[in-house]
Amino acid sequence: MRSIGVSSRSALTFCRVEHEGPLMVVTLNRPEVLNALHAPAHAELAAVFDDFAADPAQGVAIVTGAGERAFCVGNDLKHLAGGGSNERPASGFGGLTFRFDLDKPIIAAVNGLALGGGFEIALACDLIVASSSAEFALPEPRVGLAALAGGVQRLVRQIGSKQALGMLLTGRRVSADEGRVLGFVNEVTAPGDTLSAARRWAERILECSPHSIRATKQAAARGLDEPSLPAAMRAQFDYPAVKALFASGDAIEGPLAFAQKRPPRWKAG
């Protein structure tokens, strides 16, 4: 394992980043404010995920929070009340919520409270692994706001309008177990086991062809924008990641490795 800065950028202040081979683990590191984020933290995280997207050696990322109490509770309201900037990068809250062109999987390891923008970060990830002590909510209407960093749109798409609006219109908190029943949590773990469970998911993903993983994520995401199922199935063959998959030769290497009873030698992503 190696800790890193952000490429040639200055040292990290508001998050920690470790590279474990092709896995990147990002820890939101403001436990004194329950990992609430402010403008400098958003900028730092945006740079981290820019580098992750651009690095062909990196295949999967995990996002978690420092400490035991919170994954992220959203905006740092004390920072804003003190006159701090609310500026965010083009890639959105935490550098993720408006990042629509990343075909590498991201896993949220939610170890406590995921509220407001913190829940929106988790919803922007591809998988959510949650501690049994985790709680999720989009409480913005209770303070005269709305979850417009993707929370409204993603929750409706991920769990359906009736269940989503039941959360959105009340701002109520949902446990990890209920989140799994509703469908936005993939796995619930014992407290303290969340990050190791997220690593297990990442390891399973990393066993697969990186080209296949990116083609699959891109086809799933872009297919939602197509007008019909037949249109989505036709359009997928024009998606860049799908074309890259078939150009890579992994579709030949996979069956060949299976027949020869050896691990596949995937092409680099």
As annotated, the active-site residues are: 120, 140
Tokens 């872009």 identify what position? 222
> SS3 letters for the chain?
CEECCCCCCCCCCCEEEEEECCEEEEEECCHHHCCCECHHHHHHHHHHHHHHHHCCCCCEEEEEECCCCEEECCECHHHHHCCCCCCCCCCCHHHCCCCCCCCCCEEEEECCEEECHHHHHHHHCCEEEEECCCEEECCHHHHCCCCCCCHHHHHHHHHCHHHHHHHHCCCCCEEHHHHHHHCCCCEEECCCCHHHHHHHHHHHHHCCCHHHHHHHHHHHHHHCCCCCHHHHHHHHHHCHHHHHHHHHCHHHHHHHHHHCCCCCCCCCC
Distance CA 167, CA 40 (A): 30
